[in-house]
Amino acid sequence: MDITRLLYKELCLWKESNSRKPLILRGARQVGKTTLIKQFASEYPFKIALNLEKKEDLRYFEEFDSVQDIVNALFAKHNIKSENRSQTLLFIDEIQESPEAISKLRYFYEEIADLHVIAAGSLLEHVMHDVKSFPVGRVNYLYLQPLNFLEFLAAKEQQGALKEIQKIPIESYAHTLLKDLFHD
């Protein structure tokens, strides 16, 4: 079942924004943050994905002090030319694993604004006290909720039900259909 999340449109608007800042995608565990960003990455010709639960990815934030050095190392590893920065998505998954990485998000905005940076994590509230300098005002936030009923109907290709659910009041025949789909 192919699921298009409603937040996908927000990600597209973020991508096209002239005032784009690094984006932190928040949400509970297992709601589809990583899946959503991996789908969204198809909008980019160049992409780099890091998972900070993996030591080999975490080391970029531990070994390098500057974001410029981090980006240079990542671009070299992934064979991406620096002139392609504005067409590149850097996805930092499980960012809650590194308070240092959270702090460095501000420098992506200040020093490498043309690079598209998305960080995803859950339970960020629990690591805030470990972050030296939280990037207030230098990042944007989106919050991914669990799959809602409209997204479910779209994934099930129930266009008729999607049309009927928009009507107020809902007709009795539509109510029966929607109830059956809900219990599906």
The CATH number of the domain where 54 resides is what? 3.40.50.300
Task: Render pLDDT for 23-64 as a digit per residue (tens, 0 to 9).
Answer: 999 998 899 999 999 999 999 999 999 999 999 999 999 999
Residues 69, 128 within the same domain: yes
Q: What total number of domains does the chain contain? A: 2
DSSP string of 79-108?
T--GGGGGGEEEEEESGGG-HHHHHHHHHH
The answer to whether residue 1 is domain-embedded is no
Residues 36, 125 within the same domain: yes
Residues 107, 164 within the same domain: no
User: Does residue 92 contact residue 103 with C-beta atoms inside 8 Å?
Assistant: no
Give the strands of the sheet with 140-143, arranged side by side.
46-51, 88-93, 116-121, 23-26, 140-143
Residues 50, 119 within the same domain: yes
Residues 142, 168 within the same domain: no
Residues 55, 137 within the same domain: yes
What's the pTM value of the predicted model, to 2 decimals?
Answer: 0.88
Residues 39, 89 within the same domain: yes
Residues 114, 82 within the same domain: yes
Lowest mean pLDDT among 99-103, 113-117, 122-126, 163-167: 122-126
Confidence check: pLDDT of 118 > 80: yes
Beta strands in the chain (DSSP E): 23-26, 46-51, 88-93, 116-121, 140-143
Residues 41, 76 within the same domain: yes
The answer to whether residue 2 is domain-embedded is no
Range of the domain at 180: 148-184
